Structure 1
Amino acid sequence: MIRPVTPDDTAALIALAKDTISFEPNELEELGKMFADYFNGNSDDICITDEDNGLVGVAYCTPERMTNGTWNLLLIAVHPNYQGQGRGSALLRYVEQTLTGRGERLLLVETSGLPSFERTRAFYRKCGYDEEARIRDFYDVGNDKIVYHKMLTVQGM
């Protein structure tokens, strides 16, 4: 069941990010701040979760500042026990449909260029995202940032 997150979900969402994406402590702290801003109504962000006897997935996106209709998917994660069941694709489609319904036009997502992230990159390609940019050594030496994009609406409409 896909639904908006609630403040009571915060600890489970942070644990999911830690266990699924292996976030570092400083990244988990930043994620906690993002959730706090979201729950305080200080943002236009979208945060949803997939629930199946507990939280098993999350997607979080935010508008890109100083742009017209561009959004950035900051987080999408599905617990390893539930991967390969279409849950990540369903979360991403829900985000895309929500943004399209609002008249937004572009969704960006970034990920690592490390070989261990090939499955993640294949997921985005499967979902219709195209590689738009690569910034060499962005995260660390030898760890590129790869940016994918997908147009949500036809330009001029």
Structure 2
Amino acid sequence: MDAPDIRPLTADQLRAVKSIIDDVGLFAPDLLDEMTAAFLDGAAPDDLWFVAVADGTACGVAYCAPERMTEGAWNLLLIAVRKNHQGEGLGAALTRHVEQALAERKARIVLVETSGLPSFEPTRAVYRRLGYVEEARIRDFYAAGEDKVVFWKKIQSVAA
């Protein structure tokens, strides 16, 4: 695989991003229209939506938004990589790209929430490798027996 080209999401990429979401089974792909609408029409200029393209195909997506009522705190709300590209470093590249964009916006911290189920351990391991620290665990959050795990990372500022 060539090095991914990571760029802001455009409306013409929405169908490809829906297929990524469908491929990984995170949520119903139709929710993406509502999730991206404000970004695509310019009403949410602070939101960050990125698509990773490798070998001419959209194979990853990331979404990050500022946390309301905070100073410089952001939530990384979505990272998804097409199954046939998982394990190639694409998720890490997307995460680093988001972190760089946040540094340019003078963000202080970024939070990531994920499931505490055993099947999500590979996801949590990726965040740990990328320097994220497990900051909180909320028991039985998503469902009985499924905790929410919150990771935290300080964003390194970019010299002007």
Q: From the superposition, tell whether residues 111 and 18 of structure 1 become closer, same or farther in structure 2 (CA, over 3 Å).
A: same
Q: Who is 2:43 aligned against?
A: 42
CA distance in 2, matches of 1:101, 1:138: 33
Range 29-38 or range 110-119, more displaced: 29-38
SS at match of 1:48: strand
Q: Who is 1:131 aligned against?
A: 134
Partner of residue 15 from structure 2, selected from 11, 18, 21: 11
SS at match of 1:103: coil
SS at match of 1:85: coil
CA distance in 1, matches of 2:36, 2:30: 10
Range 114-123 or range 8-17, more displaced: 8-17
> C-alpha offsets along residues 126-153 of structure 1, whole Å, 9 cap, x if unaligned?
0000001111111111111000010003
The aligned amino acid for 1:62 is A
CA distance in 2, matches of 1:139, 1:15: 24
Unpaired runs of 5+ residues, structure 1, are: none
Which of the pair is proportionally richer in helix?
Answer: 1
* TM-score normalised by the chain length of structure 2: 0.89
The answer as to 2:49 corresponding to 1:81 is: no
The aligned amino acid for 1:14 is K
- Are the counterparts in 1 of residues 21 and 27 from structure 2 also a CA contact under 8 Å? no
Aligned-residue CA RMSD in angstroms? 1.3
The aligned amino acid for 1:114 is L
Runs of 4+ in 1 over 4 A off after TM superposition: none
SS at match of 1:68: coil
Q: Who is 1:91 aligned against?
A: 94
1:6-155 correspondence to structure 2 within 5 Å: 6-20=10-24, 22-25=25-28, 28-43=29-44, 44-52=46-54, 53-153=56-156
The aligned amino acid for 1:49 is V
* TM-score normalised by the chain length of structure 1: 0.91
State the 1:23 CA deviation.
Answer: 2.8
State the 1:29 CA deviation.
Answer: 4.0
Q: From the superposition, tell whether residues 40 and 94 of structure 1 become closer, same or farther in structure 2 (CA, over 3 Å).
A: same
CA distance in 2, matches of 1:35, 1:64: 17
CA distance in 2, matches of 1:56, 1:123: 18
- Are the counterparts in 1 of residues 99 and 155 from structure 2 also a CA contact under 8 Å? yes
